[in-house]
Each structure stands twice: as C-alpha cells, then as structure tokens.
Amino acid sequence: MTRRHSPPVGLLDPATRTWLTRHALPGALLHGVDPLPGGFTNDMTLLTARLPGAAGPERFVLRRHRSSPSRFPRNTCAVEIAVLGRAAARAVPVTAVVAADPQGRTTGRPALLYRYVDGSPLSEVLADRPPRGEARALGRAVGAVLARIGRVGLPHPGPFGDPSLVPAPDGASPLDDLAGFVDRCLVTAAVDGPLSGTDSAALRALARRGAGALAALAGERRLVHGDFNPKNVLVHRRAGQWAVAAVLDWELSFSGSPLFDVGNMLRFAHEYPPAFTTGFVDGFRGGSGRLPDNWPRLSRTLDLFALADILTAPPDPAYFARARTVLRRSAADGH
C-alpha cells in the first residue's frame, strides 16, 4: 500500500475520530493519518495508532465509502464484509476487518477499518520488469489465488443483494447483456468524451460478435472479484518466494464466471513480461481453475464490460490511452 504525505491527525472529522478511538479501537492514541490511493469511489486512510497495552504502534486502513454513480452493482459495506469472510474461509489472503460502521450511522458514511497489510502492489512489481523466473513465479502465485476465489460456490449467478450472499434467482445484472451494456455506456458517455466514432463502432462490433459465445457461461455461479487487476493484488516475498499478501477491494464482487477475473488480470498482458502470463495460467490451472479451450476469447469478451465502462467514463487520460490500445488490438485481431 503506497503512502503519501502525512497530514495532521486532526484531519479526521470529529465523528469519525470518536468512532475510532471509542468504538473501533477503544482507548487508542492516533499518531498519524496518511491518505492512500484508494480507487475512484472510496476514501482510503492509513492510520498509525498505539493501543492500550501494546508494545508499539500498529497500522490500520480506514475505508470510507463515497456515493457515486456506477454502471455496475456496487456491494454495500455489509456485503463486502461477508464476501471477505467467505473468501478467507477458502484460504484467500484478504485484509482482516477490525470494525465497521456499515450504514454510516456514527461516522456519516459507511466505513470499514481493517489491518494494514505489508506488501507491494503487483502493478508496481510488474512495472519493474522482473526477470523471467520471478515473473513466472509471480504469475503462478496470483493464478493459484484466483483459482481459490473461483472455488467459492454460490446458489445462483448475479449480484449480491445482502450479506447472505444469495443472489436473487431472477435478479437482473448488467452482465447478462453485453451488447446492451456497451450501448448504454456509449449513449451515456459525455458528448465531448475522448472516444472516437471509429473506436465506438469497433467496441459495438466486438460486443455483438462476442455476446453469443458468452451463453456457455450463463449458468456459472462462482465468486468473482470483479476488479481483479494488478493494483488490487499485494505481493511479498515469503521464505524467498513470491506470494500474494492480500487481494483488496471487493466492492464489485458477484456470482458468475471466474473468466471475468481472468480477463481483468490479463487486460494489459501485452505490457507485462510474457512469463507472468504463462505462470498465471499455470497457477490457475494448477489450483483447479477451469479454462475451456476458447478461454482467451471468452475472457477478453467478458472484459469488454469493464473496457466499455473505462473508455466511456475514463478515470484519467493515461488509463484511457491504455484501454484504447487494448480495444484496437482486439479489433485488429477480430475478437
């Protein structure tokens, strides 16, 4: 988790500070409050605190949810806690929740407090272009963890409505209709957005060509992270070997096909050492993850949901440019 500058402890609003020191961490003395980069819909804060009787300071992460429009169903704080518990039961490395204000009744916004996990974002490690052997080891570790996530079975496919994690049998999901989802993204995009008419047409064509192939995955009901990309995976060295320290940010998780996460992780595979992709596939298969013969096409097609969202509502110009490169590569390949 990358740290930034350290503002004064007083930056916390009084209600949140009171909740932390009286309820979440009773009697704690807060020594530091550091903003953390935390995606686009949450405020993330690194807290350094000394607890009563503790030998030294400890670190925690406070995650406060912001209201924001989204084309994907976003899990509530309470649902995310339930997902973390279900994943941890399958030995998926996740952050340990210390306290929560799920409805924001005390702090004013839904909030999660969990223990800080030491590790480096996989995105940063890959950007350093590790040697072939290390890249493959990283890939195997990440693929094996994704296979564990996919071993969590659920009653039905679809989004989670409550902490029971039982999707409604007839619940509507934007993932049911790729072509329709892409059309809605394009129609609701800003008029002065950066996506050209040619690229819009290419995105529509890819969605229409690929939609039929997704019918084979319609009944899958496995836990899907929903945003399984290198910035949400922390890695570290353990006994001289690369291992996954934690999988972060489960607010987009749902019940469906693990190939959605495969496509997400490999969206920018052309930017990574080739050995990482090879290791990732080996690790996924070795962890009992199922990859059908046409998995590259299916996973790229599933990733069109996220790609359409990014291209029509980009978080920043640099990320848009990377996503547009993926679109054009897929269009040139014909899938």
**DSSP string for residues in 11-76:** GS-HHHHHHIIIIISTT-EEEEEEEE--TTTEEEEEEEEE-TT-SS-EEEEEEEE-----SSPPPP
Indicate whether 103 and 221 sit together in one domain.
no
- Neighbouring-strand partners of residue 42: 65
What is the total count of domains within the chain?
2
Indicate whether 48 and 156 sit together in one domain.
no
pLDDT for residue 7: 40
Q: 205-259 pLDDT, tens per residue?
A: 999 999 889 988 988 999 999 999 999 999 999 888 999 999 999 999 999 999 9
User: Is residue 174 very low, low, confident or very high in pLDDT (cuts 50, 70, 90)?
Assistant: low
Is residue 138 scored above 60 in pLDDT?
yes
Indicate whether 288 and 186 sit together in one domain.
yes
pLDDT for residue 335: 63
Indicate whether 180 and 329 sit together in one domain.
yes
Indicate the range of 10-19, 226-235, 283-292, 305-314 predicted with least confidence.
10-19
Q: CA-to-CA distance for 279 and 260, rounded, in angstroms?
A: 18
Q: CA-to-CA distance for 326 and 329, rounded, in angstroms?
A: 5
Indicate whether 231 and 316 sit together in one domain.
yes
Mean pLDDT of 68-77: 83
Indicate whether 55 and 159 sit together in one domain.
no
Is residue 275 scored above 50 in pLDDT?
yes
Is residue 326 scored above 70 in pLDDT?
yes
Domain end position, chosen among 52, 86, 115: 115
Domain end position, chosen among 88, 115, 142: 115
Q: CA-to-CA distance for 18 and 294, rounded, in angstroms?
A: 54
Is residue 94 scored above 90 in pLDDT?
yes
pLDDT for residue 39: 58
pLDDT for residue 190: 87
Q: Does the residue 1 lie in any domain?
A: no
Is residue 29 scored above 60 in pLDDT?
yes
pTM (2 d.p.): 0.92
pLDDT for residue 6: 38
Mean pLDDT of 285-304: 96
Indicate whether 26 and 100 sit together in one domain.
yes
Q: Does the residue 4 lie in any domain?
A: no
Is residue 28 scored above 50 in pLDDT?
yes
Indicate whether 39 and 127 sit together in one domain.
no
Is residue 69 scored above 80 in pLDDT?
no
Indicate whether 89 and 147 sit together in one domain.
no
CATH for 158: 3.90.1200.10
Indicate whether 77 and 126 sit together in one domain.
no
CATH for 78: 3.30.200.20
- What is the domain range of residue 217? 120-333
pLDDT for residue 40: 64
Domain end position, chosen among 115, 146, 180: 115
Q: Give the Å distances, CA to CA, from 113 to 47, 64, 109, 207.
A: 10, 9, 13, 39
Q: What is the mean pLDDT of the chain?
A: 91
Is residue 276 scored above 90 in pLDDT?
yes
User: Is residue 263 very low, low, confident or very high in pLDDT (cuts 50, 70, 90)?
Assistant: very high
Indicate whether 284 and 315 sit together in one domain.
yes
Residues 6+ apart with CB under 8 A from 214: 178, 298, 301, 302
What percentage of the chain exceeds 70 in pLDDT? Answer: 93
Is residue 70 scored above 50 in pLDDT?
yes
